[in-house]
Amino acid sequence: MTNTILNYLANSSAITYIVLALLSIYLIIIFWIFIYRYVSLKGLITNEKKSLDSLTSRDSSFSPFSSLNKCSNNSSSREILHACEINIIKDASAGISWLAIISSTSPFIGLFGTVIGILESFAKFSGHSKVGFSLIAPAISEALVATAAGIFVAIFAYTFHQVLTRKVYELNTYIKAQAEIIIAKG
């Protein structure tokens, strides 16, 4: 396996190196965004769930750890609470759009690397009078590595985007429920 990878890299062009380096950077970025956002959203959701539980219990108090409480300064104004909801969700969803961008562009970057690899392979064979499938197949399969890398990155980016979008929705649900209770209690 290692020899195959080293052989592939030894026979690759500068474009292939650039494509694989860019896709590697993409992969690092998506894991960083996912881990950072997932941990922070998990903490926010936990605080808002506790706050909602506190509001619906006997003591009916607003949790001091609630982002909605911190933003609204104990106000029960619909407008202030709505503005706080928007601000909290905007902050919570920062960076998530990058996952969507990466999931949609990485297959095209991989495809670009594949097209260049195939063009280079055909250019190598242009001087030969007879070229068989046994010569073309390995060259094309090596070129397809870039597409596979692009799809690999896109799968993670898309999956992480969906998971984080769901977490933001969950956070939004808890915040809206708290706001409605606070408005109702006046």
Per-residue pLDDT of 92-136, as tens digits, reads 999 899 999 999 999 999 999 889 888 888 887 777 777 777 777
Retrieve residue 65's tokens.
Answer: 């750890």
Q: Dihedral of CA 78/80/83/87: which sign? A: negative
DSSP 51-98: HHHHHHSSS-PPPTT-HHHHHHTT---HHHHHHHHHHHHHHHTTTHHH
Indicate the pTM of the whole model. Answer: 0.84
* Cα–Cα distance, 182 to 95 (Å, whole number): 30
The tens digit of pLDDT for each residue in 48-90 reads: 998 888 888 876 777 778 888 888 887 778 888 899 899 999 9
CB 68 within 8 A of CB 179: yes
* Cα–Cα distance, 171 to 50 (Å, whole number): 12
* Cα–Cα distance, 47 to 71 (Å, whole number): 14
CB 106 within 8 A of CB 154: yes
